[in-house]
Amino acid sequence: MNIALIAHDNKKNDLVQFVTAYQTIFSEHNLFATGTTGSRISEATGLTITRFQSGPLGGDQQIGAMIAKNNMDVIFFFRDPLTAQPHEPDVTALVRLCDVYSIPLATNMGTAELLIRGLAEGFLEWRTIVAQKNSEIEER
C-alpha cells in the first residue's frame, strides 16, 4: 500500500517515534513524505521514503495529487492544532481530498495507533480492490 507521512513542525518528533515503533509494519509498504518529515523518518529508521517538497512549498499538494488519482491508500498526518500554519488552505484541501476519495487519515497519535493496527491486520485490503478497479478503468 502507498502510505503518506506528514507532520507539522511541532509534531515531527511524535511521527518519527511512531514510525520507529511500527517500523516493521511500515517497511512492508511504499512510503511517501513531505520534505523534512521524510528526511527525519528515513534517518531514524533507515526506511526508504519517496520525498516531496516541504508542505509550505507544495508537498501537501503533491500528495493531494496522488490522492486525486487514487494512488494513495493511507495518510498519517500529525497536525498541530495549536499553531497557525501559513499553508492552511493546502492542509484543508488535503483533508477534504481524503474525505472525497475515502482515504483513511490519522491526524493524531490515537487515531494513528488504530489505523496502523488495522493495516497490520489487513483491515485496509479494500484499498487494493479500489486500486484494481481504477487500473481496469484506466486501461480502457
Per-residue model confidence as pLDDT tens digits over 25-71: 999 999 999 999 999 999 999 999 999 998 888 888 999 999 999 89
Residue 139 has pLDDT above 90, yes or no: no
CA dist 39 and 17 (Å) reads: 14
Which residues make beta-bridge pairs with 105? 75
User: The CATH number of 2-105 is which of 3.30.70.260, 3.30.559.10, 1.10.260.40, 3.40.50.1380?
Assistant: 3.40.50.1380
Domain coordinates of the chain in residue numbers? 2-105
DSSP element (H, E) containing 58: none
Q: Assess contact for 74 and 103: CB atoms under 8 A.
A: yes
pLDDT, tens digit (0-9, with 9 covering 90-100), for 4-20: 999 999 999 999 999 99
Of 14, 60, 90, 99, the active-site residue reads 60
Q: Let me know if 60 is a catalytic residue.
A: yes
**Closest by CA position to 133, among listed 90, 109, 104, 102:** 102
Contacts of 18 (CB under 8 A, 6+ apart): 76, 78, 109, 112, 116
